Amino acid sequence: MESAASPPPLPVSKPYRHAKLGLVLAVCVIAACAVFVVRMQTVQRVEGSAGTKPNRMLELIARYAVGVKGLMQETGQWNAEMTQAMLHDTKTLARNDEDALRVLILKGWMDDAWPAEADLAGIGGKSAALKKDVEALGQLKAAQIKLDDDAWKQLHQRHGWIADLAHAQTLAADDPTRQAVVQQGMGTAMVLIGGMMLGMLAAVGGLVMMILAILRWRSGKLCLTLGRSSREHGGVLVEGFAIYLALFLFLPWLLHLLPVKLPRWAGYGPALVALIIGMTWPLVRGMQRPLWRESLGLHRGQGILREVGAGLLGWLAALPLLVLGMIAASWIMKLTGEFPSHPIVDVFAGDGWAKLGAIVLAVVWAPISEEVMFRGLLFPGLSAWLRWLLGMLTGAFVFAVIHPQGWAGVPAIMALAATFSLLRMWRRSLIAPMMAHALNNGVMCAMMLLLW
């Protein structure tokens, strides 16, 4: 790994007016926005527990279980013990009564037996909507065909692929519809198994890269620094981030208050406005342009191609940290029963141009905007006050909690954010962390495309 050249001293900036007051207000705004996001996510999760939409995580695990069973049956290795092992972890995904019905359908498939009437009746008594679901399942079992259009549409809207699984269970083993469901499950299983194997190989390579990087850092051949900056200078950077975060969260709310109906693309306008105002705020406060560019990392570093290559190596070296983050996430899931989820999964589970839009947002817009804000403004700003390690961890925590994956996703996202911060310190340009960010999101999008 080649280290970037030592940075020149940053230009001396003029004193900023009310710098300490601005920093205090900025920290309060960031903390308030983080609390707001966490509370809104909690409310959305509670409201989402009504069962009006499929549980995509449970659906994915169900497809994996069905696929593993199909693959193992083809080789004659499936047995009852494997069924119980698969179902043991699946039951923990049931967050509500709707999920309990879905798990019951999956259990019936894995046991090669239709769910017991008593179990179905018990779930059907939980609510009127569940009673209709249970009645619809009974009609499926009796007629061995799909329901009328309205009833089937409602069942499928509520339970997604699990409804297809229930329908397939009523059909003969050689029925094309049943075989199609099994093939979907087998495809999901092969993608997940293949992805895990490739991930393990990449993580081993990443561990080697990480060890080499640590050895070079200890020998002084790899330099990690943000350059010298005053606390007042860092406070102005934090101010810019606080303004961005506040506008990013509340401008869309103001947009919805307008009396006219706006096109869908207009919803991305507030994010662009927030980005521009946040990143230019230090200039408004009187920061000199060379100092601004160097502070935010808005330069080519040692050349675009070299910085892109550094981003690729950095992402690879980050994989062991990501694995540790995923292990920590598994502990959180066991303790809280909460599983990480993201709204983008619903987009990939659907059809149409929405998938392309999601890919552009995840692979292009998010790496650019988030790196400018988090590794360009927040991380250097916090590091000027807290030193780089605490600044990195604090910025990574803020980065993680405002993402919609929930608390179970925080450790893994923090690991990625810390990696992007280290890349910023290594290269000082934002190109490398942007590249690593884009690569990580691109891999995730590729997996989603293969799975759905």
The DSSP-derived string for 192-247 is HHHHHHHHHHHHHHHHHHHHHHHHHHHTTSS--------HHHHHHHHHHHHHHHHH
Residue type, 300: R
> How far apart are the C-alpha atoms of 67 and 400, rounded to whole Å?
32
2: pLDDT strictly greater than 70: no
Give residue-wise pLDDT tens across range 5-53: 555 555 555 678 888 898 999 999 999 999 998 888 777 666 554 446 7
> How far apart are the C-alpha atoms of 444 and 374, rounded to whole Å?
21
Rounded to an integer, the average pLDDT of 211-230 is 85
> How far apart are the C-alpha atoms of 16 and 38, rounded to whole Å?
33
233: pLDDT strictly greater than 60: yes
- Amino acid 144: pLDDT: 56
> How far apart are the C-alpha atoms of 390 and 378, rounded to whole Å?
12
Q: Which helix (H) or strand (E) holds 114?
A: none
**How distant is the alpha carbon of residue 67 from its chain centre?**
25
> How far apart are the C-alpha atoms of 1 and 213, rounded to whole Å?
7
**361 touches 428 (CB < 8 A):** no
Rounded to 5°, the CA angle 311-268-60 comes to: 65
> How far apart are the C-alpha atoms of 284 and 278, rounded to whole Å?
10
Question: What predicted TM-score, i.e. pTM, was given to this entire model?
Answer: 0.88
Q: How confident is the model at residue 419 (pLDDT cuts 50, 70, 90)?
A: very high
Rounded to an integer, the average pLDDT of 325-352 is 75
CA 2, 197, 438, 273 torsion-angle sign: negative
Helix (H, G, I), strand (E, B) or coil at 54: coil
> How far apart are the C-alpha atoms of 49 and 7, rounded to whole Å?
52
190: pLDDT strictly greater than 60: yes
- Amino acid 50: pLDDT: 47
Rounded to an integer, the average pLDDT of 352-364 is 85
395: pLDDT strictly greater than 90: yes
Rounded to 5°, the CA angle 206-417-2 comes to: 50
Residue type, 130: L
> How far apart are the C-alpha atoms of 263 and 241, rounded to whole Å?
28
The upper half-sphere exposure of residue 324, i.e. CA atoms within 13 Å in the direction of its Cβ, equals 12
**332 touches 338 (CB < 8 A):** yes
> How far apart are the C-alpha atoms of 295 and 293, rounded to whole Å?
6
Distance (Å) of CA 23 to CA 76, 371, 381: 66, 21, 10
Q: How confident is the model at residue 112 (pLDDT cuts 50, 70, 90)?
A: confident
Please give the residue that has the higher pLDDT: either 424 or 340.
424
Of 346-350, 365-369, 404-408, which range is least confident?
Answer: 346-350
DSSP state for residue 116 in the 8-state scheme: P
227: pLDDT strictly greater than 90: no
Spatial neighbors of 430 by CB under 8 A, at least 6 apart, are: 296, 297, 298, 371, 372, 375, 376, 424
> How far apart are the C-alpha atoms of 259 and 206, rounded to whole Å?
53
> How far apart are the C-alpha atoms of 207 and 201, rounded to whole Å?
10
Q: How confident is the model at residue 425 (pLDDT cuts 50, 70, 90)?
A: very high
* Average pLDDT taken over every residue of the chain: 85
DSSP state for residue 341 in the 8-state scheme: -
Please give the residue that has the higher pLDDT: either 408 or 416.
416
